[in-house]
Chains A and B, each alone.
Chain A
Amino acid sequence: MKILVCISKAPDTTSKIAFTNGNTQFDENGVQFIVNPYDEWYALVRALELKEANGGTVTIITVGPATDDTVIRKALAIGADDAVRIDAIPTDAYFTAMQIANYAKENGYEMVMTGKETINYNGSQVAGMIAEAMDIPFVSLATKLDMNGNLATLEREVTGGVQVVEVNTPCVISCAKGMAEQRIPNMRGIMAARTKPLNVIAPSTVDALTEYVSYETPSAKSAVKMIDPENMDELVELLHREAKVI
């Protein structure tokens, strides 16, 4: 099976979130970028496990400028045969998804995998958009994936529980916790990643449907009010009269 794994560059979880240029741009100053954890831990690792068990190939894809190559090499160090970077600034989820869908269609990928969302934009949009653009089924927030020929059996989260579903390839899967365990790249992987093919291709012409016009950070929380552990009546009173949540 030919698997395409979409990765996104994301600021490390502990990064300070600040904005620049009149609050219109994320301030990348001093920020360490990582592979979006859901893409790496769940989508990429499960794709590699399927390849190890059943054969096939795993290709990593991202849409971004040349500065993303560092993050792509990090992902290649974990595994995968090769990588593709579509050389464009990803303006919105639609733009990104259409680029990936066009590439996947032209190159006959049978499964496209993504993380459940990115930790910076949290949109959960790209995978569903790719599926619609390719006119194939999409299983979102999958926590388990097994293949039997071209039949995929998956568990996915539904409101308040889980669901077991079956779908035939080609399909798009977005992956959540449970799908696989994080892999730490070893030295051999890191060395091999340096020479694996990273194909840079030109974007197709797509107009973005949306744009971020500004950002803001939440106003600072007022200091915590400490309550005497012996006096829970006071806490209940505050939750009722002051916070008005009970």
Chain B
Amino acid sequence: MILVYINSDHGIGKGAMEVVTYAKKLGDVTVVTAGSASDSDLATLGQYGASKVLVDRNAKADDAQQLTRLVATGASSVGAKMIIFSHDLIAKSVAPRLSVKLKAGLISGAIALPKTGGDFTCKVNVFSGKAFGTVKVNTDIKIISLLPNTLKPEATGSDCSVESFDGNAGAVGIVVKETKIPQGEIPLTEAELVVSAGRGLKGPENWGMVEDLAKTLGAATACSRPIADIGWRPHHEHVGQTGFAIRPNLYIAAGISGAIQHLAGVNGSKIIVVINTDPEAPFFKAADYGVLGDAFEVLPRLNESLKKFKAAQ
């Protein structure tokens, strides 16, 4: 039996669909969640392979201590031997706590299905994406935190039952004063397509062409560190070692030289397109496709070509 925790506070996100799809490949899946999502939204997790969803409407999805108790209660009520999270910001605070509470080994940042015959091992990203490691878990209960965009959600089933559940979540440890989430933007860490730009764009007033291209593609926008540091773009768009690590299917980088610290945040991307005027830019070595040219000309041209392509689809 496998227990999956999902965060459903802002609807059923892509990370939730991925993690249920992943868990279904390993066995019978029960989902546990907290908060206020509607029963009909939660039931759609059945399409990705969940047998049932347990929801504790009294627990807060912001509080790692409550969620840890909730998931532990869920795990013992269904007799779960494997507990799986999507490796998002909530999992990063709950999964380690749960590991201690249950004395269960945690595989953090899994990028593949575990091997279960004999030793229980799983592949993870290490050294900021510059290497992979294989981690073995020595405990009876295993916890896996799955990196986003590891596999595609597969909706092949039908809606499942949703049951109210008392997770014995206990007291809240953290008081949330305010949550600021810009509406209508694709969260960068969940985005499959990302358009990113750096100092080569010369000023924040030139970001229109980045946003236009992102809009045509249905992509999220990102930037390099100097851009966030000087305030041309908000910090939540900064990808790289000190910003967010992302692994989209397509990463388009315009006017970014590709320093090692930037690569550490994007080297998990499946396909990298680099647009730069400098043939010596190190980013070209990490790219699949390169365009030696001025972003001011190439980005609008690429946008027009994409519009033509989309119209013909």
Q: In the complex where A94-B100, A213-B121, A245-B250 touch, is A137 in contact with B173 (Cβ < 8 A)?
A: yes
CA–CA, A245 and B241, complex, Å: 25
Interface residues of A in 124-161 (CB under 8 A from B): 124-129, 131-133, 136-141, 143, 153, 156-161
CA–CA, A166 and B288, complex, Å: 45
How does the 8 Å CB contact mask read for B252-290 relative to A, with 1 for contact and 0 for none? 000000001100100000110110000000001111111
Q: Is A67 an interface residue (CB 8 A)?
A: no
| A-binding segment of B25-33, B76-84, B296-304 | B296-304
CA–CA, A215 and B130, complex, Å: 11
Q: Is A53 an interface residue (CB 8 A)?
A: no
How does the 8 Å CB contact mask read for A193-224 relative to B, with 1 for contact and 0 for none? 00000000000000111111111111001101
- Contact partners of B127 in chain A: CB under 8 A: 11, 17, 119-120, 122
- Is A138 a contact of B134 with CB atoms below 8 Å? no
Q: Which among B99, B132, B286, B289 is the interface contact of A94 at CB below 8 angstroms?
A: B99
Q: Is A187 an interface residue (CB 8 A)?
A: no
- Is A132 a contact of B93 with CB atoms below 8 Å? no
- Is A19 a contact of B131 with CB atoms below 8 Å? yes
Q: Is A30 an interface residue (CB 8 A)?
A: no
- Is A224 a contact of B96 with CB atoms below 8 Å? no
Query: Which residue from chain A places its CB closest to the CB of B176 in the assembled complex?
Result: A165
Query: Which residue from chain A places its CB closest to the CB of B185 in the assembled complex?
Result: A160
Q: In the complex where A132-B100, A214-B133, A218-B132 touch, is A161 in contact with B288 (Cβ < 8 A)?
A: no
- Contact partners of B130 in chain A: CB under 8 A: 17, 217-218
Q: Which among A138, A164, A215, A237 is the interface contact of B132 at CB below 8 angstroms?
A: A215
Q: In the complex where A165-B177, A232-B301 touch, is A129 in contact with B185 (Cβ < 8 A)?
A: no
- Is A235 a contact of B138 with CB atoms below 8 Å? no
- Contact partners of A236 in chain B: CB under 8 A: 302, 305-306, 308-309
- Contact partners of A218 in chain B: CB under 8 A: 130-132
- Is A166 a contact of B174 with CB atoms below 8 Å? yes
- Contact partners of A171 in chain B: CB under 8 A: 173
- Is A229 a contact of B100 with CB atoms below 8 Å? no
Q: Is B199 an interface residue (CB 8 A)?
A: no
Q: Is A233 an interface residue (CB 8 A)?
A: yes
Q: In the complex where A132-B101, A210-B106, A214-B133 touch, is A225 in contact with B289 (Cβ < 8 A)?
A: yes
Interface residues of B in 176-224 (CB under 8 A from A): 176-182, 185, 187-190, 192-193, 217
Q: Which among A162, A167, A238 is the interface contact of B174 at CB below 8 angstroms?
A: A167
Q: Is B291 an interface residue (CB 8 A)?
A: yes
Query: Which residue from chain B places its CB closest to the CB of A19 in the assembled complex?
Result: B131
- Is A211 a contact of B135 with CB atoms below 8 Å? yes
CA–CA, A77 and B62, complex, Å: 37
Query: Which residue from chain A places its CB closest to the CB of B103 in the assembled complex?
Result: A209
Q: Is A65 an interface residue (CB 8 A)?
A: no
Q: Total number of A-B contacts with CB less than 8 angstroms? A: 272
- Is B180 a contact of A162 with CB atoms below 8 Å? yes
Query: Which residue from chain A places its CB closest to the CB of B217 in the assembled complex?
Result: A246
Give min CB distance, A164 to chain B, whole Å. 4
Query: Which residue from chain A places its CB closest to the CB of B243 in the assembled complex?
Result: A177
Q: In the complex where A128-B95, A224-B285 touch, is A211 in contact with B193 (Cβ < 8 A)?
A: no
Residue from A140, A160, A178 with most neighbouring chain B CB atoms (10 Å)? A160
Residue from A122, A126, A212, A221 with most neighbouring chain B CB atoms (10 Å)? A122
Give min CB distance, A227 to chain B, whole Å. 5
Query: Which residue from chain B places its CB closest to the CB of A243 in the assembled complex?
Result: B271
Give min CB distance, B60 to chain A, whole Å. 11
CA–CA, A11 and B128, complex, Å: 11
Q: Is A93 an interface residue (CB 8 A)?
A: yes
- Contact partners of A124 in chain B: CB under 8 A: 92, 96, 108
Q: Is B107 an interface residue (CB 8 A)?
A: yes
Give min CB distance, B30 to chain A, whole Å. 23
- Given A123-B106, A213-B121, output 10 extra A-B contacts at Cβ < 8 Å: A13-B261, A119-B241, A121-B126, A159-B88, A160-B182, A162-B179, A165-B175, A209-B106, A226-B289, A245-B271
Residue contacts A-B, CB under 8 angstroms, 11 given: A122-B127, A128-B92, A128-B94, A139-B174, A160-B185, A209-B104, A213-B136, A226-B291, A229-B294, A229-B297, A233-B305
Give the 9 A-B CB pairs with smallest separation, nearest first.
A229-B293, A128-B96, A161-B181, A137-B173, A209-B105, A160-B187, A132-B97, A132-B100, A140-B93
Which A residues are within 8 Å of any B CB, using their own CB?
Answer: 11, 13-14, 17, 19, 37-38, 92-94, 97-98, 119-129, 131-133, 136-141, 143, 153, 156-167, 171, 176-178, 207-218, 221-222, 224-227, 229-230, 232-233, 235-240, 243, 245-246
